[in-house]
Structure 1
Amino acid sequence: MPTFTPTAIPDPERAKVEGRRTRQIIDYLGAANAFRAAGQREWAIDRYREVLAIDPGNLDARAGLRDLGAIVPTGSILNTPVPTPLPIEPTNTPTKR
């Protein structure tokens, strides 16, 4: 007999917000790249910064700013230190005699 695994239905309002956010990022990155290709450095920098205002960890925007010699903002999730994992404790397994 086939089994059925229910999947969560996404919140429609949240899906709209996320979709809008994603479209904004794509639009700003596209504009930034077009301005960059046209030699409009300041306009490109402004669009990359718009992306970072929405998504501070966006690697494409950060790379674009670096390539243009602009200051890349700090204080984002990329600058958060990653904790060192604790060593795994050996388990008490019976030994063979």
Structure 2
Amino acid sequence: MHSEKLGIAVRRFLADFDSVGGSLAPAPVEVLIRVKGEPDDRQREQLVSAGASVRTVAGEVLTASLAAADIGPVTDLDHVVYVELAQPLFPEPGR
């Protein structure tokens, strides 16, 4: 895992599992992934092979969901620059 590619929220998320001695949950987490330039088909396939389910691509930023255990393999890809947890700007009413 390339920890220098991780944003602060995803670092805290991963540290929470380490602090309780738990294994990483298989439930998907929502992430933003920044890549070097707009990804081509080969790079998107590499992300999928690493465990990411890519949804939206906007230039060099992608939204995806993946299992927490797959964050490391995604950061190992050369074209991945940064990974951060996707978080709402404003909480939904009633939550």
Same fold (TM over 0.5): no
Structure showing greater relative contact order (alpha-carbon pairs closer than 8 Å, 6 or more residues apart):
2
How does the TM-score come out when normalised to structure 2? Answer: 0.25
Q: Comparing both structures, which one devotes a greater share of its residues to helix? A: 1
How does the TM-score come out when normalised to structure 1? Answer: 0.24
Tell which structure's C-alpha radius of gyration is larger: 1
Q: Comparing both structures, which one devotes a greater share of its residues to strand? A: 2
